[in-house]
Structure 1
Amino acid sequence: MTQNGNLKRRVRARAAKTGESYTAALQHIRQPPDEPDIRSIRMAVAQTSLFNDPRDVSALHASGTEMRRLMRQAHQAGTRLLHFPEGTTCWPHKRIMSEIGPREIGPSDWKRFEWSALREELEATRRLASELKLWTIFGSVHQLTSPHRPHNSLYVISDRGELVTRYDERLLSNTKISFMYSPGKKPITFEVDGLRFGCALGMEVHYPEIFVEYENLDVDCVLFSTAGETPSNAPAFAAEALGHAASNTYWVSFSTLAPQSTAASSGIASPDGQWAVQCPMTGLPAIAVADIKTNPQSLARPWRRKARSDLYTPHHMEGDPRSDDRNLF
């Protein structure tokens, strides 16, 4: 009993010093000193209802209520981090926002957005994240000063309820860049319990360079959030998320809106390109929970980094190798 009590005190002391969860601190202390440090975290991925009319105050409040219900579920499951889709708070419809709509798509009229109601929900969500000690990452429109268009963003709220960073979608669709949003400029990373996370958004799953960039930034997991009204595009997006996880040998969390889940639900992809966990394919709001961890003994990621360098240059043949090949037809 004394030995067990001493262990618990050591774990609590480390957790208080580093900000790690109790589980992460325990794992570090139990790790043999001559073995590489394995870091892990329990996280959840969500799929949420579609709210696409920012003029509707009651809908904005309903989206916040749903978010916080899922946050409490994630907390009860012992998670440290919860990842939400693009447009969790509201995913403004291009025709609702169009100055010349709804029949035609034109520049968005952002004066139609009930910004005060959104701010109320953001504040309530921030407070709950602090109360639950839960890192909460969710999609929201980020207002800029007029006449600048807003960003399509992911907010990163810490377990202290602080906005620690924000990711703004960089590679926008034609409609978004033509009529709706200002593009972001840079990748962002943040750390929780020793694991490094990156963020991607919208249709950026189509661009391998986004995910290679995060591999170069040494992330352990990319949080990719997307949205959609119908399930038609979801399978392709999910397949690409699996491919990025496998080709970069890191975790990818794929979070989308519930209407898409009947074809491809939200899930967490492991570094071998397989789903570690997925939400139900029901079209309803839900979360799925997985323990993700680093694998310092894996040789795949170091080798791929080496292969992407100038490893092969000394092995290239000079001149035309066909001149020495006697077997060409």
Structure 2
Amino acid sequence: MKVAALQMVSGPDVAANLSAARRLLEQAAAQGARLAALPEYFCLIGQHDRDKLAIAEDLGSGPMQQMLADAARELGLYVVGGTLPLKADTPDRVRNSTLVFDPQGQRIARYDKIHLFAFDNGRESYDEGRVLEAGSEPTSFEVDGLRVGLSVCYDLRFPELFRRYAPVDLLLVPAAFTHTTGQAHWELLLRARAVENQCYVLAPAQGGTHPNGRRTFGHTELIDPWGQVLAVQAEGEGVVIGEVDLARIAQVREQLPALKHRKL
């Protein structure tokens, strides 16, 4: 099955971001993708973290969800809406949510980011917990016989989440990694998750310098079950596309049956 990861450099204008996302989804469909995934915060990277609160939608309504549903239906794609803010139970908090729509435009999965990022190296600091309410439930779905597991960005550092999905064929990791942490760990962690779960990893990312001055690492990638990077885009808007091959997964698992050797 052909899959696509869409790299963006989103800004504070939601309408402009939605237009860019739709354009990239159209490019993915034109290249034959069956599933296309947008990055974390495809809809907004604002001047301030709390800008998410102003655009948060109720589940099932709103322009961000409508764009995703319309694109899925009109383009005949499974569309993974990297993340968008959905209203939370806690006041002044939102859920950082991935929504998946099928080619009929129906929502078939929702995953709320479980692990909330915090970082302070003395020069730059960030704490998602100031605005986000954490999710708690791993979520997977099926596409044409492929089992797909969902995660978001900082989740990548917690292998126990991905083990909950095993055996799985494809792991999705929409992200907006900082340039500092991405340079050090992004590809290392993506390849590790692919190797230890003997599956494909598709990671659509934010990649570039945003209007608020923040620089995200990019390097949107597709990785195979042996840990080989099949396709990558370092920075800037674009489409990374490739094949998820069930025969390749079976071959790797037969040659090195590590999943069968698990003891814990």
**Scaled by the length of structure 1, what TM-score is found?**
0.68
Give the distance between the partners of 1:143 and 1:92, measured in 2 at CA.
17
4+ residue runs of structure 1 moved beyond 4 angstroms?
260-264
- Tell me which protein shows more strand as a share of its residues: 2
Contact kept? 2:206, 2:218, Cα under 8 Å: no
Query: Number of matched residues?
Result: 245
1:206 maps to a residue whose letter is R
Query: 1:114: how far off?
Result: 6.9
**Scaled by the length of structure 2, what TM-score is found?**
0.84
Corresponding residue to 2:41 among 87, 111, 129: 87
Give the distance between the partners of 1:264 and 1:125, measured in 2 at CA.
22
Question: Is the partner of 2:100 in helix, strand or coil?
Answer: strand
- Tell me which protein shows more helix as a share of its residues: 1
C-alpha change, 1:251 and 1:303, in structure 2 (3 Å) is same
C-alpha change, 1:113 and 1:211, in structure 2 (3 Å) is same
Contact kept? 2:52, 2:94, Cα under 8 Å: no
The match for 2:88 is: 144
Corresponding residue to 2:171 among 212, 222, 225: 222
The match for 1:32 is: none
Query: 1:109: how far off?
Result: 8.4
The match for 1:240 is: 189
The match for 1:290 is: 242
1:73 maps to a residue whose letter is Q
Corresponding residue to 1:205 among 138, 141, 156: 156
The match for 2:63 is: 120
1:159 maps to a residue whose letter is P
The match for 2:10 is: 50
Unaligned runs of 5+ in 2: 119-126, 210-214
**Equivalent pairs: percent with the same residue?**
23
RMSD over equivalenced CA pairs, Å: 2.5
Query: 1:306: how far off?
Result: 2.9
Q: How does 1:1-329 map to 2 (within 5 A)?
A: 41-51=1-11, 53=12, 59-92=13-46, 95-97=48-50, 110=53, 112-113=54-55, 119-138=62-81, 139-144=83-88, 147=91, 149-174=93-118, 175-177=127-129, 179-215=130-166, 218-228=167-177, 230-235=178-183, 236-259=185-208, 264-279=218-233, 281=234, 283-295=235-247, 296-299=250-253, 303-309=257-263
Give the distance between the partners of 1:298 and 1:245, measured in 2 at CA.
11
Greater RCO (Cα-Cα under 8 Å, separation 6 or more): 2
Unaligned runs of 5+ in 1: 1-40, 54-58, 98-107, 311-329
